[in-house]
Every structure is written in structure tokens, then in C-alpha cells.
């Protein structure tokens, strides 16, 4: 998971109070520009009204939160799933903000023992929102403790081992768990079922990314033309985080190599320099396709082999590159491995082998 552009280190538990959330000022001054992570944080929408796209999720979540507010109760637990950079953390912050409660942050990999979770849960106050990023990576004992905490707002803390072990019940104030995952399918059924509201975030349409780029440019005080904005949007792979990142790189280019205005030619030149092509493929995407076609004759090849060949973690290939490549019809996941489609060969300017390696009957997910 890419935390480079966020303001939060979720390897450690963190808490943002309402006051601190408000303290995440919109950036207009030059000092703040130097801190990329602060910039990214400042670009986050802070209310549901500010969220662009994800209309269905926004409406459903708005209703859930409004109903909870009227009842004066903590909202039901929320599960947010979808590829990285689509706004899961942003929505978790918005949920806390809309409920005017503090947000406690942690992540699945940081909860290695049930005791880690017990410590977090025992520190919660009535109505707090607990955000667990990458919830599918939590340890099994912690997961089981979480079932009980979500349902009964209590946990049993086991002290000692073997026959002498004793379970001490611990009451937990009502809280809202917001779980985020890029792999909803990996969540055990009992955990998934305990979320009262599940939202799957979809990739954004180019016109929505265009609005996001305009909004971010406004917050950053950057001048950009309509053509410059839509060029950035169209190369952003349906992902707001990427749109914001590309905007910042184009802004760098415009400041150093042009007159500061983000026009179409400036955007094109900048994105070429940063190796983001017209279809939005970046170095990793192209490396995956390149290895697949040139080294493995178009596949099928296992994702682990593919990952080793491009020098990345399997998860990075699976969660960062593949969703976009599959979505754009350049790569297929088959039971026998990954396969380059004819469009992939074409994209690389290569001629596909005479005997097609792609068997359309295999186009089920591996």
C-alpha cells in the first residue's frame, strides 16, 4: 500500500481530534508547498459535500450518518473496499468529521497480537471512529477479538497461558469501526457480516477526475487551462491520488520550464518527462506488459513470477498495476496466469505471436 502521499503513518496508532482535523489547513502559502504529504492531506475533501464522484456511496453514507446523528447513536460499522487511492482514508476522516468525533487510526499489519487490539479498544471513548486500514491483514486472534468488540462492545482479554489462563471481560464504549481493504474477498465472512454498511469504491470517470484536478489546482493556487486539466485527468488511471500527484508534477514542470501556467503542451511535456503515457500507464504498468510480452511470450505467467521479473512485490503488481491493466483490456487474469491481450502488444508497438496466446475461454479471474 502506498502511504507516501498521505499524512498518516498507519504503522502506528494515531489519533486526530476534531480540532486537529480542522487544523489540516487548505494550503495557499509557499512554505507548505514544500511538504508533499501536507499538500496531499490538504487536498482531501473534508465533508461529504466536497467529495467528487462516488455518488451512490456518498448518498448511502450520508443517509447512514444522518440517521445515526438523529438517533444520537454511533453509526453502524462501515467497510470501505476498493483499489488504493480512491478515497477510503478520506471517507473515514469524513465519517469522523461528520459525526464530530475523534478519529483513531491504525492498520491491520500493526495489529499483530490480540493484545494490540485490546489496547486500542480500551482507549476508545464513546462514539469514537476507529479506522483500521488494510483490515484484511490483521492477525487471526485479533480478528476474532474484533468480532466480539463489533457486536457486543466488549472483549475478553486473556491473561496467562495454558490451564492457568484467565479471561478478563473488558467493556468498550460504543464506537464505529471503519475498515478499509483493497481485498474485500480476503476478509473472513464473520468479519464482513459484522459491518452494517459496505461500500465499494469505483474508479473515477475522466470528467470526475477533471473536477478533482480543478478543485486541487484551486486549493494550491495553480493556474491551469481546461485542456491542461483534462490531459492530467485522462492520464490519472481513474484514481484521485494519481490525479493529484500528476498535478503536482505538472505544476513543478510549469514553474521550472514554463511560465507557471498548466496548459496542454506543458501537461503533455511534463507527463512525458515523468513517464506517464497517453493512456495513463506508468513505468510499472509498462514494465509488467513489457516483461509479459517480451520475456514470457505474452503469458500465461504466474503473478509472482511477473512480480519478481519487474522487481516489485506481488501485492504491488496485483493491487497497483493489474486492476488498471485489466480494466483497460491490456491484461487478462486466467486460471493459468496472466496473459497479455492483443491490445497490450499493440500498446508496446510489438507484433503479437502468430498463434494467439490468449484463449478467451480462460478469461475468468485466476
Ligand X SMILES: Nc1ncnc2c1ncn2[C@@H]1O[C@H](COP(=O)(O)OP(=O)(O)OP(=O)(O)O)[C@@H](O)[C@H]1O
Q: Which contacts (CB < 8 Å, 24+ apart) does range 355-364 have?
A: 357/297, 357/298, 357/299, 357/300, 358/298, 358/332, 359/334, 362/300, 362/332, 362/334, 362/335, 362/336, 363/332, 363/334, 364/333, 364/334, 364/335
**Using the rule CB under 6 A, which residue among 75, 87, 97, 179 binds ligand X?**
87
Site for ligand X in 195-224 (CB under 6 A): 212
Query: Could you tell me the CA-to-CA distances from 25 to 39, 45, 74, 211 in Å, in that order?
Result: 9, 11, 27, 20
Residue 97 binding ligand X, by CB under 6 A? no
**Using the rule CB under 6 A, which residue among 45, 97, 127, 298 binds ligand X?**
45
What interhelical angle do 55-71 and 88-98 show, nearest 10? 30
Residue 84 binding ligand X, by CB under 6 A? yes
**Using the rule CB under 6 A, which residue among 65, 86, 95, 130 binds ligand X?**
86
CB of 69 to ligand X, least distance (A): 21
Site for ligand X in 173-192 (CB under 6 A): 180
- Closest to ligand X by CB, 53 vs 280, is 53
CB of 214 to ligand X, least distance (A): 10
Catalytic residue, candidates 6, 7, 88, 245: 88
- Closest to ligand X by CB, 135 vs 212, is 212
The span from the CA of 225 to the CA of 227, in Å, is: 5
Residue 11 binding ligand X, by CB under 6 A? no
Cα R_g (the chain), whole angstroms: 23
What lies within 8 Å, CB to CB, of 176 at 6+ separation is: 74, 75, 76, 77, 78, 95, 99, 127, 128, 129, 130
- Closest to ligand X by CB, 44 vs 237, is 44
Question: For the chain, first and last CA: distance in Å?
Answer: 21
- Closest to ligand X by CB, 54 vs 176, is 54
* Binding piece for ligand X, criterion CB under 6 A, among 40-48, 185-193, 333-341, 352-360: 40-48
Closest CA to 248 of 86, 46, 40: 40
Q: State yes or no: is 316 an active-site residue.
A: no
Closest CA to 247 of 205, 282, 216: 216
Catalytic residue, candidates 235, 241, 245, 248: 241
- Closest to ligand X by CB, 180 vs 254, is 180
Catalytic residue, candidates 133, 210, 285, 290: 133
Which residues bind to ligand X, rule: CB under 6 A? Answer: 1-2, 6, 40, 43-45, 51-54, 84-90, 180, 212, 240-241, 244
Just list the catalytic residues.
88-89, 133, 182, 241
Amino acid at each position: 500500500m502506498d502511504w507516501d502521499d498521505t499524512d498518516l503513518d498507519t504503522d502506528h496508532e494515531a489519533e486526530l481530534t476534531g480540532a486537529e482535523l480542522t487544523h489540516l489547513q487548505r494550503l495557499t502559502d509557499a512554505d507548505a508547498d514544500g511538504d508533499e504529504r501536507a499538500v496531499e492531506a490538504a487536498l482531501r475533501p473534508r465533508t461529504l459535500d466536497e467529495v467528487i464522484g462516488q455518488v451512490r456511496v456518498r448518498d448511502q453514507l450520508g443517509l447512514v450518518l444522518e440517521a445515526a446523528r438523529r438517533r444520537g447513536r454511533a453509526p453502524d460499522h462501515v467497510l470501505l473496499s476498493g483499489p488504493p487511492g480512491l478515497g477510503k482514508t478520506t471517507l473515514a476522516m469524513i465519517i469522523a468529521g461528520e459525526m464530530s468525533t475523534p478519529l483513531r487510526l491504525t492498520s491491520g499489519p500493526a495489529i499483530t497480537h490480540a493484545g494490540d487490539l485490546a489496547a486500542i479498544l480500551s482507549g476508545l471513548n464513546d462514539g469514537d471512529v476507529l479506522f483500521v486500514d488494510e483490515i484484511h491483514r490483521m492477525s487471526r486472534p485479533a480478528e476474532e477479538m474484533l468480532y466480539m468488540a463489533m457486536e457486543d462492545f466488549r472483549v475478553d482479554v486473556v491473561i496467562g497461558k495454558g490451564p492457568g489462563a484467565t479471561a478478563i471481560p473488558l467493556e468498550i464504549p460504543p464506537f464505529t469501526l471503519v475498515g478499509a481493504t483493497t481485498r474485500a474477498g480476503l476478509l473472513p465472512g464473520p468479519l464482513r457480516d459484522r459491518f452494517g454498511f459496505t461500500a465499494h469504491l469505483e474508479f473515477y470517470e475522466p470528467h470526475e477526475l477533471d473536477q478533482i484536478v480543478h478543485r486541487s489546482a484551486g486549493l494550491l493556487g495553480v493556474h491551469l487551462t481546461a485542456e491542461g486539466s483534462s490531459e492530467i485527468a485522462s492520464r490519472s488511471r481513474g484514481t484521485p491520488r494519481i490525479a493529484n500527484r500528476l498535478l503536482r508534477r505538472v505544476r513543478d514542470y510549469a514553474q521550472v520550464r514554463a511560465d507557471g501556467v498548466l496548459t496542454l503542451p506543458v501537461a503533455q511535456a511534463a507527463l512525458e518527462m515523468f513517464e506517464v503515457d497517453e493512456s495513463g500507464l506508468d513505468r510499472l504498468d509498462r514494465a509488467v506488459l513489457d516483461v509479459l510480452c517480451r520475456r514470457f511470450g505474452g503469458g500465461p505467467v504466474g503473478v509472482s513470477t511477473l512480480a519478481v521479473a519487474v522487481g516489485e512485490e506481488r501485492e504491488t503488481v496485483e493491487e497497483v498495476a493489474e486492476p488498471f491493466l485489466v480494466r483497460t483490456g491490456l491484461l487478462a487474469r486466467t486460471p493459468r496466469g496472466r496473459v497479455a491481450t492483443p491490445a497490450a502488444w499493440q500498446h508496446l508497438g510489438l507484433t503479437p505471436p502468430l498463434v494467439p496466446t490468449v484463449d478467451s475461454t480462460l478469461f475468468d479471474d485466476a
